[in-house]
Structure 1
Amino acid sequence: MDEQAIAAYRAAVRAGKYAPRAIAAALGLTPQEAARIARTLLDLRLLHPVPGDRETLAPASPDSAAADLVGPAEQRIRELQQSVSSTRNSLLSLLPVYFESRRSRNRMEAFDVITNISVLEVMIEDFGARCQSQALTVQPGGPRPPHLLEGARRRTLERLARGIRVEHLYQHTVRNDPASTAYIREVTAAGAEVRTTDQLIDRMIIYDREIVFLPEQGELDRRPGAIVVREPTLVAFLCKLYDQQWAQGTVFEPDAEDGTAITDDVQRSIIKLMAQGYKDEMVARRLGMSVRTCRRHIAEIMEDLDATSRFQAGVNVALSGALDEAVGRAPRGEAQRAAAGAGEGET
């Protein structure tokens, strides 16, 4: 529909019919343009032949044209939606049979391994949509990519709007990431709770404390899938593990942030991991930060300890007692061995 077609339709409605010659004269159109517009209006169901006189075209109202043009497609969509809903309900009605039969067959088979990523994404989305009370997540590895945060924002806000309790547990390094901070600011304002800690064991998603998604392990030749845990005893154990990590986390409120304590916590963790013999790359990976950021923290630690080498830093840490705090008040012999480990890294 261009401006000429709209003007021609307006003229046809006023005249009660589409007369090509009269419309061409009134609008300054050529016969070919008037014929083209007539075909366009016929295709859009805005013109129709008069019964008994197919040479005469009468205008139709836009609502009747819309019903005629898209009505069949809308009917097919409704039928497809009904079919999808019916199929889903029929299959989900078999869940009690499935779980009962699995338990009867083998109590040890308490989980499913999902290797197809597309199927996994649909399952996570579906269980999240049917969540009734709680959605708990553990997200290690530092800041998440912005495109993943966009999808997470939509899902989290939708769950919060339904009254679902949402808790996110991240590593401290997300506090320095603008995209993560913007996401956390928005979802906490809507009611979500977010905490951070120095280290996390692995990714975990828990819905209603009844089902848990864990990452698949040991796959090197393909993208890892997930393990879906439903067995009540295993789920209860994993929920207790989550609760312990949550209790040790620090509340993250982006607009009321004082980074001093967090920076101290990160640096204590670096000292602890260096004392255990980890190289810079592994320390950075464990704490969800870049190697460059990790080395910047190490440089600050050495400056605070007035050390010119890592060996000297290890000695100064041991003498100051900071290493005892970082490794949980280890016996003196163990603390000395840990200090030696802190001095064995790259110089």
Structure 2
Amino acid sequence: MDLDDDTAAVYRAMLDDHTRTVTDLSKALSLSRPRVRKALDRLADVALLQPAGADPMVLVPSPPRVGMARLVAEAEAELAVQAGRVAAVRSLMETMAAEHDAHLHREALVHHRTVEAVRDRLEELSLEARTECVSLNPGRAHKPDAMAASKPLNQRALERGVAIRAVYQDSFRHDPATLDYARWLTEIGGQARTMPEVPMLLVVVDREVALLPRVVGDPSQGAIEVRSPALVAALVEHVEMVWLLAEPFGDQRRREAPLTSATSRQLLQMLASGVTDESAARRLGLSTRTVRRLMSDFMTQTGATSRFQAGVEAARRGLLDARD
């Protein structure tokens, strides 16, 4: 508790003459006797007035540095309590804000309504990425400024150990700038694949957040950011299926052999003996994508649950018999 004006005035008067009575102090300071007594009691409480010798009724002022040390200690203790309360409220505020943001991102779709906003968000996600960044890229060419902006981000992410995978449309091979970018990405450790038609524009980071167009086929309308675990998991499954069907960038393009019945029989025979899709594709002059499509058809036809089982079942049904 601070010293009020009455208490300070009485203390100063006692410094001038400690023998003054309540009546003397009342007259000298123009204060009522109750106010003087209250001030004297306060001075005694804070040890600014102490008994003189053995007579407790005779009080003399004590040095302020001694008597007011208690006031200072009380003020400091009060400040410490207030500081603790402020820290507690601030901690609670941050915890609740984090929970609010997590709930917002988990339940809501965040709209980024301009191309600039999408690029800014992609830059943030690239800097925050911990494990991987996967993208699907339809269309033939990418804008030069977008590729230039993403280069340093991708390089830093790869240096941090973040895996980068990108699926492009086959037609991008006709755009020199995009082709050079894909080559650069694979040379520094990224992975790129291509397929005839990429179904949609999509970016997934750390399997936790995804960005897709607000308007399908028109990226100029911005993007929707998705953080719902269920929705992101579904998009990840979609990405992995596309990745599985796509051809690794850099593989030599070759003219496929005709899909004759003999070719189909050879493929089934290879699968029955445990040959991989990639090996079968090389031997038959087909793309891995074509082999996988044929395998899917065979598995549907035979009701098999694995490639090896499909080959065995085809043999059991006589589908491997030599006939054209």
TM range (shorter): 0.3 to 0.5
TM-score calculated relative to the size of structure 1: 0.44
TM-score calculated relative to the size of structure 2: 0.47
Whichever of the two has the greater Rg, that structure is: 2
